[in-house]
A and B are shown apart, each in its own frame.
Chain A
Amino acid sequence: MSGLREAAVVGVAESDEIGVVPDKSSLQLQGEATLNALADAGLKLSDVEGLFSAGFRPTEVAEYLGIQPRYFDGTHVGGSSFLVHLGHAAAAIASGRIDVALIVGGESGRSRVGLPAGFSGSHSSAQSMEGQFENPYGLPGAIGGYAMACARHMHLYGTTSKHLAEIAVAARKWAALNPRAYKREPLTVEEVLASPMVSWPFRKFDCCLVTDAAGAVVLTSLNRARDLKKKPVRVIGWGEGSDHQLISQIPDLTSGPGRISGPDAFAMAGVRHEDIDVAQIYDSFTYTVLTSLEDIGFCKKGEGGDFVSGGRIAPEGDFPLNTSGGGLSYTHPGMFGIFTIVESVRQLRGDFIDQGLRQVAGAKLGLVHGTGGKLSATGTVILAAD
């Protein structure tokens, strides 16, 4: 990167309200998140030159916001899109093409007000590959795809429902510390294991929430960032990867493209796995966390169950993971990736310094990782406190 400008995140925010927000459209939620993130940075709408969005086209979002971007990226690879955007935005800033980038995402996933075209739940055409070779068999969307992946992981590696429950329980413990989290009441492993089966081997508490929410992230060059309101968070490494779209086409059902994006992000950042202080890993399902940890390289394939056990990823554990409560307990409108960035930046700035366990003490290096589609695409980014 020598000779190029380093990029930093300078503002992050959610929409005014998150959870059940029946009176606000998807674009209104995105508009609120955008204004809140710009206010967090001390910047204005008119400062935005680059727009990165998924779900809605960048042109739809720009029109609603009343901005005229000179750089845009609508890469849409499901919930990992915003992690991919973060790398792309940093590259656009590094190239000198733009100074200020906005990444925004979110929708009225629960109340379903003004959803973008093609939001999950709509069917692909009968002549598409999905329409011909998957839809006739009644797979229940993302849940079914990840459930099949998890079933094979269990078969090959002895992963258990209790391993998965540890992930749900840890997320709930973090959520209990977060006033904005949707589900905060205590949850035990026994309650997770007794919850209704949805699509074997997934039970209710293995699955993410469905809420109304949007999030936004503002970046600029590190030099300019140092003159703004908040402590900058540097974007020091990123990677992305994909190896299929349809779950029936995945080369290895127990391995996701985090094995591509993870090592690329670490190599670029020049840091090691053991250097990471806090991690946000998209938890569409409990299993998504487990396989992502393995694919990124925090443990070997098949060892994810043991890795997450014993309260290790919960508050006071030695691997703070999904410290907002994640998609399982904090919020999850449809594509959660944007919120992994919001939470990581807040941790690395020390935003929760007076809030006890809510703040991961001394967090300097953060990893954010998202998985989109049905284990189809990932983005991994490593962030550093300035």
Chain B
Amino acid sequence: MTDYLKPLPKSDPVTAPFWESLHRGKVEVQCCGDCKSFAFYPRALCPACGSRKLAWTPVSGNGHIYSLTIVTPGRGPGTFKNDRSYVVALVELEEGCRMMSNIVDVATNADDVKIGMPVEIVYDCVTEDVTLPKFRPVTQSVTK
């Protein structure tokens, strides 16, 4: 686990609750107490209305693929260069905010991973300290 070579996030006081929620396996996102919109990435003020009343709120981890790109082997940046083909996506959570992530457990071609596809969060513990939010397609057999 200690030889994970890809870029790792370093939390700051405002974003730490997000990373800690992932570490616990129960993702939380900020919700605005005034306009009720969900904000991501974490901030000190609501990007929709400017309110300071942002509260950490558990969310489902379910959403859909807003858009994606499929990276050809050798075309990734830095330590991704030697990876097989992989998917980078913008996932829109059902609460309305979007985050960048990878779609895992899917064939990496444009016929099998598509915009609009329902996805659910996967907690990827890449090091002892860091858990990244990844997403996989929701299948019929998976219960929420």
List A residues at the B interface (Cβ < 8 Å): 123, 125-127, 129, 131-141, 143-144, 147-149, 151-152, 155, 196-202, 247-249, 253
Q: Are A198 and B115 in contact (CB under 8 A)?
A: no
B68: min CB distance to chain A, Å = 6
Q: Does B8 touch A at the CB level, under 8 Å? A: yes
Give chain B interface residues in 86-105, CB to chain A under 8 Å. Answer: 86, 88-90, 98-102
Q: Does B80 touch A at the CB level, under 8 Å? A: yes
With contacts A140-B75, A155-B115 taken as known, whether A148 is within 8 angstroms of B11 at the C-beta atoms is: no
Q: Are B70 and A200 in contact (CB under 8 A)?
A: yes
Q: Are B100 and A149 in contact (CB under 8 A)?
A: no
For A141, give the chain B residue with the smallest CB separation.
Answer: B77
A141: min CB distance to chain B, Å = 6
Complex-state Cα separation, A151 to B132, whole angstroms: 24
Complex-state Cα separation, A248 to B133, whole angstroms: 14
Complex-state Cα separation, A152 to B90, whole angstroms: 10
Q: Are B132 and A136 in contact (CB under 8 A)?
A: yes
Q: Are B110 and A201 in contact (CB under 8 A)?
A: yes
Q: Are B88 and A133 in contact (CB under 8 A)?
A: no
Complex-state Cα separation, A138 to B40, whole angstroms: 19
Q: Are B67 and A155 in contact (CB under 8 A)?
A: yes
Q: Are A138 and B90 in contact (CB under 8 A)?
A: no
What are the 5 tightest A-B residue pairs by CB atom distance, in nearest-first order?
A138-B80, A126-B10, A200-B70, A132-B9, A147-B69
Picked from B72, B80, B88, the residue with its CB within 8 Å of the CB of A198 is B72
In the complex, 29 of the A-B residue pairs with CB atoms within 8 angstroms, ordered by the A residue number, are A123-B78, A125-B10, A126-B8, A127-B10, A127-B12, A131-B10, A132-B41, A133-B9, A133-B40, A136-B7, A136-B132, A137-B102, A137-B132, A138-B76, A138-B77, A140-B69, A140-B76, A140-B80, A147-B69, A149-B67, A151-B115, A155-B67, A197-B72, A199-B69, A200-B110, A201-B110, A248-B41, A248-B90, A253-B67
Q: Does B144 touch A at the CB level, under 8 Å? A: no
List the count of A-B residue pairs having beta carbons below 8 Å apart.
113
| Most chain A CB within a 10 A radius of its CB, from B8, B67, B76, B114 | B67
A74: min CB distance to chain B, Å = 26
A251: min CB distance to chain B, Å = 10
A369: min CB distance to chain B, Å = 23
For B116, give the chain A residue with the smallest CB separation.
Answer: A155
A344: min CB distance to chain B, Å = 32
Q: Does B71 touch A at the CB level, under 8 Å? A: yes
Complex-state Cα separation, A132 to B18, whole angstroms: 11
A248: min CB distance to chain B, Å = 4
Q: Does B15 touch A at the CB level, under 8 Å? A: yes
With contacts A144-B71, A200-B70, A248-B90 taken as known, whether A135 is within 8 angstroms of B12 at the C-beta atoms is: no
Q: Are A148 and B88 in contact (CB under 8 A)?
A: yes
Q: Are A138 and B88 in contact (CB under 8 A)?
A: yes
Q: Are A132 and B10 in contact (CB under 8 A)?
A: yes
With contacts A127-B10, A136-B132, A151-B115 taken as known, whether A196 is within 8 angstroms of B72 at the C-beta atoms is: yes
Q: Does B56 touch A at the CB level, under 8 Å? A: no
For A197, give the chain B residue with the smallest CB separation.
Answer: B72
Q: Does B123 touch A at the CB level, under 8 Å? A: no
Picked from A123, A140, A198, the residue with its CB within 8 Å of the CB of B7 is A123
